[in-house]
A and B are shown apart, each in its own frame.
Chain A
């Protein structure tokens, strides 16, 4: 988010001088999003920046007139947020997340490269996140071609995590794939702790989860997207219509590996992966 504010400053928008930003955070509770979005509409803001997927959907449900700049929203066409990426048409534009079959497939392959014997992989998803629902479909397709068996485990809130952990332990999964989701990221320490205690190598969509102790992450570079969101806000405040601003897809992806975690798990990360890593946590 600091990247977003920095982007605004570089474009001449200074908080408290020519722009006011009203922040609303769901703090991982997706059920709060509709009310928070309604609050912003009642405040008559000039534009709403919303991300990732659940906030973007909540904002879209709250207004069809106030411009919305989504950040990191998964598959906006499939979710009905826009009619096309090139010409969004409605009041929504911005940046897509688009972690598709190819990206998820790469993630699974990297996991297999590190742990070649892995066959049973648990997938941790939040079914309340429409982006995760679509990602599960892609994970299933990627697993078919990778020859791994999946155990899809769902957690809508932190209260579901203990049950999910118990199911993983019971099924004796050999690795863990955590889909990108606000609630899961908020509880990344618990997830990393469980993975460490059960000696599970893990692949994540967000680098923060690797910084918290996950083994590796592969996905779009979020900071770049937040900075780009500022350019959309700038254009809209200067009179551009969201419908005329094409949606951008991520162009930079990053691989982050936590070698400390690898060592604790007794794993040797192959050199072929280390040379591709954008960051290695020692």
Chain B
């Protein structure tokens, strides 16, 4: 029974590990600065 439990834990861990690696860091809101040479017309359209 203990072996089955260990197998389940290992399987779940291995399944979730890649997902955790790709997930966004939780909690923090990151700030990105965007510096561009001119005002993009697509930006005008988006925020019109």
Interface residue ranges, A against B (CB under 8 Å): 1-2, 4, 12-13, 17-28, 30, 33, 36-37, 40, 43-52, 54-55, 58-59, 66, 182-183, 185-186, 208, 233, 237-238
Contacts and interface: CB of A to CB of B under 8 A. Distances in A.
A197 B33 CA distance: 41
Contacts of A25: 36-40, 43
A185 B38 contact: yes
30 contacts: A1-B34, A12-B24, A20-B29, A20-B31, A21-B34, A23-B34, A25-B36, A25-B37, A25-B40, A26-B36, A26-B38, A27-B39, A33-B35, A36-B35, A45-B33, A46-B30, A46-B31, A47-B32, A47-B33, A48-B32, A48-B33, A49-B32, A50-B36, A51-B35, A58-B35, A59-B35, A66-B33, A233-B32, A237-B25, A237-B30
Given A1-B43, A2-B46, A27-B39, A22 B24 contact: no
Given A23-B34, A55-B36, 12 more contacts: A22-B31, A25-B39, A26-B36, A26-B38, A36-B35, A37-B35, A49-B33, A49-B34, A49-B35, A50-B33, A50-B35, A182-B38
Nearest to A40: B33
B42 A22 contact: no
A191 B30 CA distance: 40
B34 A22 contact: yes
A182 B36 CA distance: 9
Contacts, number: 113
A19 B29 contact: yes
B31 A44 contact: yes
Interface residues of B, number: 20
**Which secondary structure dominates where chain B touches chain A?**
mixed
Most buried by A among B31, B42, B43, B46: B31
A55 B29 CA distance: 25
Contacts of B31: 19-22, 43-46
